[in-house]
């Protein structure tokens, strides 16, 4: 049986062969600990980490490689950015501003900080999932510590007006943090241009290995100060203790360099592919709805609401041919409808009739549209049941 076509790149991507090749020496010959640079193996590991730090910084437009702190992924980096800033501020009722469509790795830390006394304003989004910068401006208070707005949404692919939000934050002398897990490695990003103070991302979202990510923390002209949320050996300037994942860090730097060099050509290809897929599916299902922004959108994202079709049933029907998701893979085990889809105006029924396609390097033709069209025609009719909605994946 042939391997199904992979259409879930928002959840994760597979390690690119060139990335794996760069990692292998640090899984074999150069397996030293960078915290012990006195001998050959430790020194080689330390050099590899610092070269990778320089490479990542260059891809993000950082003024200094010291702006990059390596973590195990975006979730850890988001916790360090949010909780670390709160602890450093030593202001129990500090105020945060975030959006209603943030990833759980931002929502949950902010909810935790609320339990400690922090105040959080959740700004709405429009029907395309875009934050209005004027709402950020209106929500600012004298005690506002940070604005945290994701760069691009993991479900509907909408890209936020980062430059405008960054300018508002800088003028107000408020920290600006962005969860850029879906953005880095796929879109042009300059942390100086968007005036970010803190920015987070994971390698596995752009064809790097799992288990490694980074936090950009502005160090000039006035350093953003954080308190560590993990304590131990004092690695990464004592902000992220723990033995560094050298092979993962090297892989992330390689993946980001490749992604940055090739993103213009790849985005053109993915945009054409997405356009062809949507056009074919609209022929098969005229009532189909495309979610997200038509202008400010990740080229690899297709979020579709298919009237009358249970998304989970469709996934099961086509699982031997295509791998895709119903909403966010990070929250698909929860029984509630997607908070992102609700925020842009979908009803609960429409949420359960929505699929997410994440196009990627392994998708070479619009043949997937024909497979989906056949599946839609054969899928069970959607209907609520006494025990919840039809579709066991929810």
Which residues are marked as active site? Answer: 330
DSSP assignment, residue 67? G
Q: Which letter, b or e, does each residue of 236-262 get, where b requires 16 or more Cβ atoms within 10 Å of its Cβ?
A: beebbebebbbbbbbbbbbbbbbbbee
Reduce the DSSP state of residue 148 to 3 states and report it: strand
Contact predicate 136/123, CB 8 Å? yes
Alpha-carbon gap, residue 324 to 327, rounded angstroms: 9
Residue partners of 233: CB distance under 8 A and separation at least 6: 35, 241, 242, 243
221 upstream amide cis, omega within 30 of 0: yes
Contact predicate 191/219, CB 8 Å? no
Contact predicate 150/158, CB 8 Å? no
Structure tokens at 98: 């975030």
């Amino acid at each position: 049986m042939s391997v199904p076509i992979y259409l879930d790149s928002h959840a994760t991507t597979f390690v690119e062969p060139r990335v794996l090749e760069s990692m292998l020496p640090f899984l074999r010959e150069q397996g030293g600990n960078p915290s012990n640079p006195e001998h050959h193996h430790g020194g080689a590991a330390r050099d590899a980490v610092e070269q990778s730090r320089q490479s990542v910084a260059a891809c993000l437009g950082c003024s200094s490689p010291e702006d990059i702190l390596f973590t195990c992924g975006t979730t850890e980096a988001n916790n360090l950015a949010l909780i670390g800033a709160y602890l450093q501020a030593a202001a129990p009722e500090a105020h945060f501003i975030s959006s209603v469509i943030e990833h759980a790795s931002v929502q949950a830390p902010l909810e935790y900080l609320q339990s400690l006394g922090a105040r959080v304003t959740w700004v709405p989004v429009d029907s395309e999932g875009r934050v209005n910068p004027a709402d950020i401006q209106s929500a600012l208070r004298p005690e506002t510590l940070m604005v945290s707005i994701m760069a691009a949404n993991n479900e509907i692919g909408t890209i936020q007006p980062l430059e405008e939000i960054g300018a508002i934050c800088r003028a107000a002398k408020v920290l600006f943090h962005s969860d850029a897990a879906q953005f880095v490695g796929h879109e042009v990003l300059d942390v100086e241009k968007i005036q970010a103070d803190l920015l987070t991302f994971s390698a596995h979202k752009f064809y790097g290995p799992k288990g490694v990510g980074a936090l950009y923390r502005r160090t000039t002209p006035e350093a953003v100060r954080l308190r560590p949320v993990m304590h131990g050996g004092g690695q990464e300037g004592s902000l992220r203790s723990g033995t560094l994942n050298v092979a993962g860090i090297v892989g992330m730097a390689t993946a980001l360099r490749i992604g940055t060099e090739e993103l213009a050509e790849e985005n053109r290809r993915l945009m054409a592919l997405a356009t062809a897929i949507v056009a074919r599916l609209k022929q098969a299902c005229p009532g189909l709805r495309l979610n997200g922004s038509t202008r400010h959108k990740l080229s690899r994202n297709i979020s579709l609401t298919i009237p009358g079709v249970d998304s989970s049933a469709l996934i099961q029907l086509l699982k031997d041919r295509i791998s895709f998701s119903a909403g966010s893979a990070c929250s698909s085990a929860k029984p509630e409808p997607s908070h992102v889809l609700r925020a842009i105006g979908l009803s609960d029924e429409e949420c359960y009739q929505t699929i997410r396609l994440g196009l990627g390097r392994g998708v070479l033709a619009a043949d997937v549209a024909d497979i989906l069209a056949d599946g839609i025609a054969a899928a069970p009719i959607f209907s609520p049941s006494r025990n919840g909605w039809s579709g066991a994946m929810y």
